Structure 1
Amino acid sequence: MSGRLVGGLSVMWRTVRRVVVGHLDDVSGGGWHTRAVVVFALVFGLSTADTSTVGASATQLRNAFGISNTQIGLLVSITAIVGALASLPFGVLADRVRRTWTLAIVVATWGLAMLGNAAAANYEQLLVGRIFLGVVTAAAGPIIASLVGDYFAPSHRGRVYGYVLAGELLGAGFGFAVTGDVATLSWRAAFIVLALPAFALAVVVWRLPEPARGESSRAPEAEDETGPTDAQRLARRRGIGPDPDLVLHGDLRRMGLVAAAKHILRIRTNLVLIFAGALGYYFLAGVQTFGVEYVKKEYGITQVVATLLLLFVGIGAVIGVLAGGRVGDALLGRGHLNGRLVTAAVAGTLAIVLFVPAIFTRGLLVGAIFLLGAAFGLSAQNPPLDAARLDIMPPPLWGRAESVRTFVRSGAQAVAPVLFGAVADNVFGGGRSGLQWTFAVMLVPLVVGTGLIYLGLGTFPQDVATAAAATDRDEEGHGLGRAAA
């Protein structure tokens, strides 16, 4: 009987693997493109696994060092704060140096930093270790955004981001389930479990080919020529003109960080996408840090059951990122210029509507269903937003644009755990009720973020046309330079 069961599970695993790899090959173009998607997903997954491990280890850390919810939140926040600051110089590097090698070095250093966390003798040493970890994790966002833009066809970027961001969610699930359970035995062992895969991942990243900048590698069915994205071609066919005040001239790669940041923040849709995304990640950071504690107290269940519940909810989130990227790309492919933003706006609205009953119900089954749907909506908005950002930004600025976004997003993620913990302890009196009302109040940023996406529907078309014009001028400048040489 056991042999049949093992055989059946083996067949199921091979079937699932063939289906997933087949979908990835269709989206990415196969070969090393597929490997790149998996690698990027694993890099993001390692980061969220670390954050989730801190949250899942909250009880053990509190007992080991005698600390409060606010201090637990600070462990997550300090990493995000330092990461926000470090992301800016890494954005410059992403636009100027070999990105694959830089990312590989960072991931290897990441593993060393997590081993240092595991060796901390007291809370202060652990806090210092988290600061160092924040520096090395800051590189992932800008470098991966730049590589995605150059590796994959514009028409597929939403789906590619869906798979990449699924890695974030799977990493969070790994942090809650695997390292969270390991933490019940030893929180130090939990950090070691995360550190060891980082070194193997660094080797794989090192071996990835470096793509040519500004020339997206195409899937077999995509157009052969490089140049404008699908959204930019659609804007041109509709006769949408650029904003003349925002069309850049000259070699954009040599633009300084300050000048680039000023331009990036003048693009109205980019501001909308930056802050809408940051507000969503703000709420998610609070869930990652206090989610296990909340469901344990809300439903009166053990940590093991709470972990299983969050894994169930995570299924909805994974389906959401895959569906959000696919739907956004499909709408754009059918001629809906705002298709990616519409997808994100509707998904955000769904998340808000479902989170309200999810927070206030006391029934485990009903609460799990609402949480599943809310997680679907919250995660479905991210891939189309990430793909849309590449449509409104010239390729030479992708790294610096992502670093500015990472700076704002990391700031929101840094504030969230401390605010969640402080509000729960000091405003609502702690305990089950404190966390419940804290989660309810923290839905307000989600409402604001979704409202911003709806506002972006009016500015996105012209900003797409402006990015296309800036790209043309940059290519003309390079062409003249080569001719003169």
Structure 2
Amino acid sequence: MDSPHTDAHAAARMGWWRRRLRRNVERPLEELAGGPARLKVIALLACVLALDAADKATVGAVAAQIEAGLHVGNLQIGWLVTASTAVAALMTLPFGALVDRVPRVRLLAVALAVWSMTMLVSGAAASYPMLLLSRLALGVIAAVASPAVTSLTGDFFRPGERGRIFGYVLAGELVGVALGFLVCGNVAAWLSWRASFWVLAAFGIALALVLWRSLPEPARGGQSRIPVGARRVPSGDERGRDGTDAPAGSGALRQVIRWRGVRPRHALMSMNPASTSLWHAVRYVLAVPTYRTLVAASALGYFYFTGLRTFAIVYLRGRFDLGQTAASSLAVLLGLGAIVGVLLAGRLGDRLIDRGRLTGRVLVAATAYLTAAAAFLPALWLGSLWLAGPFFFLAAAGLGGANPAVDAARLDVMPSALWGRAEGVRATFRFTLEAVAPPLFGYVSARFAGDIGTAGASAVAARGRLAAHAGAAGLGDTFLAMLAPLALAGVLLLVRSRRTYARDVASALAAERRTRRG
């Protein structure tokens, strides 16, 4: 029986660890985010994206166990990822319309609860058809998360800092990929692939409860923005109490527009975005030239990222003669480059706007895409891991760094009443290309390798080192060929958006004022 002295010693030691955690982790993160309330919102939104990314990464991490347990091959594994992504592509537009109409936090919490229940079913699947059907239902979280997280970020934070904030939130996606590779992959090795899905289900249920109980719904139009240093997240009925009742387009963007005397596009002013139908909202969104360019560039960037994420470990193993554990760890380390990119690029775009460079975010995104394409060239050509590694890191930073700048720019050119539906349009194109990327990359790599059988991981194991090198060579050639659409994304932003961005920002500001008066 423990003595009172032992209990007191344990309590004192626990208190010491809490103080160290508070001093070394919590306080620095709060200072980075701008206060406890802002850190809370950023962390919760990042966790939503992390959970979806972890699920997709987990399928790849436990593919061998699923193949052995359900007696399927690589093609069937690929369909597990494509199925949920295809459903997300179909459902994201109607869910985007719902995001503009109903409380978003409640919608996210319900979607997470449904997703968690479906993950439990996935883990208990007794056959491949049952597992595939459950994966179809998992597309709901991606369909809800993308428009809801974008809309909430726009309402909680000022336009001038959205690039930096999106960088923090989007880092959750990359952390989720690492979680899927490392944590869920190890759970599958220790227990079973079913346990990996159940672990994610437990995370999903916990996150749904936290969202439902602790995150209030903000007022639309940026009237519940969280001031720096706030300790509590303001709710929708507290609008204006903290001096945050300015229109959504206030701040640096509005000042630059006024200084330059930019006029809006009157052709876009004939509709009230808050009350229009879904069909007219889609037409409005696609009528904004800058938004069309941002949608195309973002979809092309995610297309390359999805193909790279799917086959990166297979490529690294065959190209550099690495084992599974070493290749997985290396992929996670290179993923740190993407995290560095999202954290730095978003902040840089905000800083350029503060200095009067209205197209700063577009320039940062374009430069990031072009930098990634340029860095991948030597990375894929060099045969030494020590020489190729720094170029892979730089390429990952560029590929990830474009996203927060693009996401912040998309809110700049769209009135807040359309944020959910506009993100639904963008996500439809993104998820469509994401669904196409894995089979297309796999098919092209097989043609380059000269043997379809050398493209899959199980074929590599069966045919030995020669087949591994042939498969890696085919993948390397595929990654090089697919750099063309990645470079095109940067060129589109650099050439087209720079000419249209200012007028589309002015149009969004004008539409925002009209919505408030209407």
TM-score (norm 2): 0.86
Alignment of 1:244-393 (within 5 A): 244-250=266-272, 252-393=273-414
Match of 1:141 in 2: 146
Matching residue's letter, 1:469: A
**In the alignment, which of 18, 28, 42 is matched to residue 19 of structure 1?**
28
**In the alignment, which of 190, 211, 220 is matched to residue 218 of structure 2?**
211
Q: Greater CA deviation, 450-459 or 62-71?
A: 62-71
Q: In structure 2, how many angstroms separate the alpha carbons of the residues matched to 1:364 and 1:424?
A: 21
Deviation at 1:95, TM superposition (A): 0.6
Quick one: structure 1 residues 320 and 390, their matched pair in 2 at CA, closer, same or farther if it must change by over 3 Å?
A: same
Q: Greater CA deviation, 177-186 or 305-314?
A: 177-186
Show CA shifts across 1:416-469 (max 9, x none).
Answer: 112122222345333222222222222222011111111211111111111111
Quick one: structure 1 residues 270 and 226, their matched pair in 2 at CA, closer, same or farther if it must change by over 3 Å?
A: same
Gaps in structure 1 of 5+ consecutive residues: 1-6, 478-485
TM-score (norm 1): 0.91
Deviation at 1:231, TM superposition (A): 1.8
Q: Greater CA deviation, 164-173 or 359-368?
A: 359-368
Match of 2:95 in 1: 90
Asked whether the equivalents of residues 29 and 39 of structure 2 are also in contact (C-alpha less than 8 Å), the reply is no
**In the alignment, which of 448, 452, 461 is matched to residue 488 of structure 2?**
448
Asked whether the equivalents of residues 37 and 226 of structure 2 are also in contact (C-alpha less than 8 Å), the reply is no
Quick one: structure 1 residues 359 and 123, their matched pair in 2 at CA, closer, same or farther if it must change by over 3 Å?
A: farther
Show CA shifts across 1:335-363 (max 9, x none).
Answer: 10001111111111111111112223222
Q: Greater CA deviation, 220-229 or 190-199?
A: 220-229
1:196 matches 2:202:
yes
Q: In structure 2, how many angstroms separate the alpha carbons of the residues matched to 1:107 and 1:345?
A: 34
Match of 1:175 in 2: 180
Higher relative contact order (CA 8 A, sep 6+): 1
1:226 matches 2:246:
yes
Matching residue's letter, 1:72: I
Deviation at 1:387, TM superposition (A): 0.6
Matching residue's letter, 1:438: T
Q: In structure 2, how many angstroms separate the alpha carbons of the residues matched to 1:71 and 1:468?
A: 48
Q: In structure 2, how many angstroms separate the alpha carbons of the residues matched to 1:55 and 1:332?
A: 40
Show CA shifts across 1:221-246 (max 9, x none).
Answer: 99745112432331122111111111
Secondary structure of residue in 2 paired with 1:139:
helix
Matching residue's letter, 2:514: R
Asked whether the equivalents of residues 110 and 137 of structure 1 are also in contact (C-alpha less than 8 Å), the reply is no
Quick one: structure 1 residues 319 and 258, their matched pair in 2 at CA, closer, same or farther if it must change by over 3 Å?
A: same
Show CA shifts across 1:179-199 (max 9, x none).
Answer: 123333422222222111111
Show CA shifts across 1:149-183 (max 9, x none).
Answer: 11111111111101000001100111112212333
Secondary structure of residue in 2 paired with 1:240:
coil
Match of 1:150 in 2: 155
Dislocated runs of 4+, deviation >6 Å: none
**In the alignment, which of 465, 468, 474 is matched to residue 509 of structure 2?**
468
1:165 matches 2:170:
yes
Secondary structure of residue in 2 paired with 1:105:
helix
1:187 matches 2:193:
yes
Asked whether the equivalents of residues 172 and 288 of structure 1 are also in contact (C-alpha less than 8 Å), the reply is no
**In the alignment, which of 439, 443, 464 is matched to residue 479 of structure 2?**
439
Q: How many residues align?
A: 466
Secondary structure of residue in 2 paired with 1:324:
helix
Match of 2:43 in 1: 38
Show CA shifts across 1:341-394 (max 9, x none).
Answer: 111111111111111122232222222221111111111111111011111001
Q: Greater CA deviation, 432-441 or 458-467?
A: 432-441
Asked whether the equivalents of residues 153 and 219 of structure 1 are also in contact (C-alpha less than 8 Å), the reply is no
Asked whether the equivalents of residues 340 and 385 of structure 1 are also in contact (C-alpha less than 8 Å), the reply is yes
Deviation at 1:66, TM superposition (A): 4.5
Matching residue's letter, 1:239: G
Deviation at 1:68, TM superposition (A): 4.2
Q: In structure 1, how many angstroms separate the alpha carbons of the residues matched to 2:441 and 2:132?
A: 19
Deviation at 1:82, TM superposition (A): 0.4
Q: Greater CA deviation, 291-300 or 223-232?
A: 223-232
Task: Work out the percentage of aligned pairs sharing the same amino acid.
Answer: 42
Match of 1:3 in 2: none
Match of 2:129 in 1: 124
Q: In structure 1, how many angstroms separate the alpha carbons of the residues matched to 2:129 and 2:446?
A: 21
**Which structure's CA Rg is the greater one?**
2
Match of 1:236 in 2: 258
Asked whether the equivalents of residues 83 and 137 of structure 1 are also in contact (C-alpha less than 8 Å), the reply is yes
Asked whether the equivalents of residues 115 and 140 of structure 2 are also in contact (C-alpha less than 8 Å), the reply is no
Show CA shifts across 1:260-307 (max 9, x none).
Answer: 001101111001111101111111111222222221121111111111
